Structure 1
Amino acid sequence: MQKVASLPLPPQDAQDASNALAVCIGDAIDASGGWIGFDRYMSMALYAPRLGYYSGGAAKFGRDARDGSDFITAPELTPFFARTLAREFAPLLAAGLPAVMEFGAGTGRLAADLLLALETEGALPARYEIVELSGELRERQRRTLADRAPHLADRVIWHDTLPERFEGVIVGNEVLDAMPVRLFAREGGRWHERGVRREGTTGFAFQDRVLADDEVPAALLAMPGDHDVVTETHAEAEGFVRAVGAMLARGVAFFIDYGFPASEYYHPQRAGGTLMCHYRHHAHPDPFLYPGLQDITAHVNFTGIAEAAVESGLNVEGFCSQARYLMNAGITELLMTLDPSDVRAFLPAANAVQKLLSEAEMGELFKVIALSRNADTIENFSLAGFQRGDRTYTL
């Protein structure tokens, strides 16, 4: 197993699991004639049963490398994230939407904190539904709920797949970025699909295949210029949004993730694409390092997400930066419920909120998009988070 100098070496049992996954991926490559698309590689690396990053036992979410985690998300950073979302969700639930559904619930921290905050708002949903494929993460979510909100845990139910019909509020925080992407490279004016071949016994390398003109995705044909570029397309995330659209009978879906509208995503200056990996709180560009032990992500093309939503009959209710959304929805007012003179309590909370809002941290790179169906039947429907700074016009 290759090791990068700046990254810690995994323990032996983790290396063994990674090597076992590498064998499975190698077998898939052999069975496909020596080459697979990057989307298939990414799918196996993240979701292969028992061995993939999200289906195995890695810690994933946490504050730093000392707890064995690879990255931190907004719900883990501060409860004020969930409390702010609860202020937006509460009027929708009070108006008759019966349930909340979460995708990618991670440790269960957002679920627990949302339920507690909605209880405070007097707007507890009848059900809190979590769509989760990973058995290991389900157990972690159950433990978190039992620890943080034991009196509300019986409201939570889990699904392996999307139900046929749902009415309520949907939330997905950092879900779309973890869905497999296809990689493409334009070199000398010709488009190639960048796939994966074997390199040695358990290693892998990129290999490009020339595409015929009618094989080039429409999003790439619209890319300005003729410069050399590597980039991604997001068929799986867009298909997921269409499936959500087919499921949602009435309500609003909120997706929070890092990304851009297409004009920025495919801007000529972004010539290297957005693929990124995370291992022990180190970001690096090598998706073939430690298969199954590291996260692999790509930024979200929110224009594609919005178009997929509209195709499935949803309305785009708003799109803006995370900072603008959270401030509109009242995060600073919530923070000021703490006593600023209590420095030990106030300063850590303020610092965490600042990370959510700062342009240098998560505030600008992360975006919020809201999608709805039959919102006109929800009494006094409005979304405070998009009252100022809405960028739907950029999609």
Structure 2
Amino acid sequence: MKPKHSLPTPSQEAQLHSEKLSQRIQQQLKRKGRLTFAEFMQMVLYTPNLGYYANSLPKIGAHGDFITAPEISPLFSQCVARQAIQVLKTLEHPSLVEFGAGRGVMAKNILLELDAQEQAIEHYYILELSADLQQVQKETLQTLPAHLFEKVVWLNSLPEEPLEAVFIANEVLDAMPVERLKLEPQQTSQAMVIYNETKQQFEWDYIPITDRLLQRFSNGILNFIGNPSPDGYETEINLNIRPWLKSVFEAMDKGLLLLIDYGYSRKEYYQPARVMGTLRCHYQHLAHSNPFFYPGLQDITAHVDFTAVAESGFDVGFKIAGFSTQAHFLMSSGLLELSTTQSDDITESLKIAQQIKTLTLPDEMGETFKVIALTKKTDIPLMGFQLRDLRHQL
């Protein structure tokens, strides 16, 4: 489809790449008639070699579409490492598992911090589906001392034998496919995706909700927002959270699952004023709301309902061990102490101060991003939630 005027036009090569994926989606639509938005999102993000997270186009950093906390400052990963160490010390066969490790920057800095703190681990597993990203991660991590690099093991799926480990997922939940709902005074609808042959573009198509789970969910939203306005109320639901957490629980013998992402508790997520939901697309560091813009070339995300994470985690067997803002988690995990040991150079110190502001200020990443801890057979007060634990808000 034609891009919005405010968004840069992709290169000819990128457009051809997107066209291949679009044709693949159109073939699926010819078979099924229409796709749920979650099915469409799954295809545009994860189709092998073509989907956004499965292709070789740059994603993170100045030449990509977004920036992540580990890329902003090594202090972020060092704080995560310190929280991990507290749990790793209690494990007989300690390992770490990172989901979707980006360019490998967080893995590198965590391994260096573990080494500095003399915390031994058996393995640092990286669960990465993209072969291109695996290669980028290897290039990043090969700069480590050999005794650290040899700890790294790449996986394509969760290990079959349960591990004693700390599992880390930074900005993983927001990239899971979501269903889109529209609530109106007289009806509730599920957003589907169709292809308009005349206009040569993908479009929304709304049908009455028939799925029992989605209907129950939409009824629950109405309890928060009351009667929707005639213009309707659009929002998302992530039906993948519970099965994903169940698979992680089964892959963990004992340990901690640390989830870091942007989102809200349910009461805040489904505010009456949030009429357009939280679906966001990112292309060359510009945020917009059109998920049909050049499929495969942009990131598509939705904020996380952390109440759903807590409920699903509890249902599958986890203990909810902590919930806080990213700012308070980092402060509790020694951010300021770590920052004072970084450099005596004034220019470098100013740079570090700016990084800390980006990670912690409310109008930056500090409050939009949350951290939730789920544990199994581990019952210790976690350091990252000592300053402020918001579990009561879930």
Is TM (by shorter chain) over 0.5? yes
Which residue is 1:360 aligned to? 363
> Match for 1:273: what amino acid?
G
Find the aligned partners of 1:173 and 1:22 in 2 and give their Cα distance: 29
Change (3 A) 1:23 1:350: same
Are 1:226 and 2:223 counterparts? no
Which residue is 1:51 aligned to? 50
Which of 356, 365, 372 is residue 369 of structure 1 equivalent to?
372
CA apart distance, 1:210: 1.0
Are 1:305 and 2:309 counterparts? yes
Report the 3-state secondary structure (helix = DSSP H, G, I; strand = E; otherwise coil) of the residue aligned with 2:257.
strand
Contact kept? 2:241, 2:312, Cα under 8 Å? no
Are 1:190 and 2:187 counterparts? yes
Report the 3-state secondary structure (helix = DSSP H, G, I; strand = E; otherwise coil) of the residue aligned with 1:235.
coil
Query: Aligned residue pairs: how many?
Result: 385
After superposition, the C-alpha distances for 1:337-363 in whole angstroms (9 at most, x for unaligned) are 1346x2211111110111010000000
Which residue is 1:40 aligned to? 39
Report the 3-state secondary structure (helix = DSSP H, G, I; strand = E; otherwise coil) of the residue aligned with 1:147.
coil
CA apart distance, 1:150: 4.8
Find the aligned partners of 1:57 and 1:213 in 2 and give their Cα distance: 36
Find the aligned partners of 1:338 and 1:133 in 2 and give their Cα distance: 34
Change (3 A) 1:353 1:215: closer
Are 1:120 and 2:119 counterparts? no
Are 1:167 and 2:164 counterparts? yes
Change (3 A) 1:8 1:104: same
Contact kept? 2:332, 2:387, Cα under 8 Å? yes
Are 1:384 and 2:372 counterparts? no
Are 1:350 and 2:353 counterparts? yes
Find the aligned partners of 1:293 and 1:287 in 2 and give their Cα distance: 10
Which of 314, 334, 337 is residue 338 of structure 2 equivalent to?
334
Which residue is 1:111 aligned to? 107
Find the aligned partners of 1:213 and 1:94 in 2 and give their Cα distance: 45
Contact kept? 1:255, 1:368, Cα under 8 Å? yes
Change (3 A) 1:349 1:40: same
After superposition, the C-alpha distances for 1:63-85 in whole angstroms (9 at most, x for unaligned) are x2xx2x00000001100001111
Report the 3-state secondary structure (helix = DSSP H, G, I; strand = E; otherwise coil) of the residue aligned with 1:347.
helix
CA apart distance, 1:261: 1.0
Which of 292, 296, 303 is residue 296 of structure 2 equivalent to?
292
Are 1:319 and 2:329 counterparts? no
Find the aligned partners of 1:129 and 1:313 in 2 and give their Cα distance: 23
Which residue is 1:261 aligned to? 265
Contact kept? 1:23, 1:202, Cα under 8 Å? no
CA apart distance, 1:215: 5.7
Which residue is 1:27 aligned to? 27
After superposition, the C-alpha distances for 1:114-139 in whole angstroms (9 at most, x for unaligned) are 00011001103110001111111111
Find the aligned partners of 1:350 and 1:383 in 2 and give their Cα distance: 26
CA apart distance, 1:323: 0.5
Are 1:90 and 2:85 counterparts? yes
CA apart distance, 1:14: 1.0
Report the 3-state secondary structure (helix = DSSP H, G, I; strand = E; otherwise coil) of the residue aligned with 2:65.
strand
Which residue is 1:11 aligned to? 11
Find the aligned partners of 2:11 and 2:146 in 1 and give their Cα distance: 34
Which residue is 1:2 aligned to? 2
Report the 3-state secondary structure (helix = DSSP H, G, I; strand = E; otherwise coil) of the residue aligned with 1:306.
helix
Which of 279, 285, 296 is residue 281 of structure 1 equivalent to?
285
CA apart distance, 1:4: 2.1
Report the 3-state secondary structure (helix = DSSP H, G, I; strand = E; otherwise coil) of the residue aligned with 1:382.
coil
**Range with greater deviation from structure 2 (9-18 or 235-244):** 235-244
Which residue is 1:216 aligned to? 214
Contact kept? 1:90, 1:118, Cα under 8 Å? yes
Q: Percent identity?
A: 39
Which residue is 1:239 aligned to? 243
CA apart distance, 1:109: 0.5
Q: Which runs of 5 or more residues in structure 1 are unaligned?
A: none
Change (3 A) 1:217 1:327: farther
> Match for 2:283: what amino acid?
Y
**Range with greater deviation from structure 2 (109-118 or 181-190):** 181-190
Which of 243, 246, 251 is residue 255 of structure 2 equivalent to?
251
CA apart distance, 1:29: 1.1
**Range with greater deviation from structure 2 (211-220 or 117-126):** 211-220
Which of 166, 173, 177 is residue 176 of structure 1 equivalent to?
173
Contact kept? 2:209, 2:215, Cα under 8 Å? no
> Match for 2:363: what amino acid?
A
> Match for 2:23: what amino acid?
V
Find the aligned partners of 1:148 and 1:115 in 2 and give their Cα distance: 9
Report the 3-state secondary structure (helix = DSSP H, G, I; strand = E; otherwise coil) of the residue aligned with 1:90.
helix
Report the 3-state secondary structure (helix = DSSP H, G, I; strand = E; otherwise coil) of the residue aligned with 2:125.
strand
Change (3 A) 1:126 1:209: same
CA apart distance, 1:147: 2.6
> Match for 1:118: what amino acid?
L
Report the 3-state secondary structure (helix = DSSP H, G, I; strand = E; otherwise coil) of the residue aligned with 1:283.
strand
**Range with greater deviation from structure 2 (51-60 or 201-210):** 201-210
Contact kept? 1:29, 1:198, Cα under 8 Å? yes
CA apart distance, 1:91: 2.5
CA apart distance, 1:241: 1.3
> Match for 1:284: what amino acid?
H
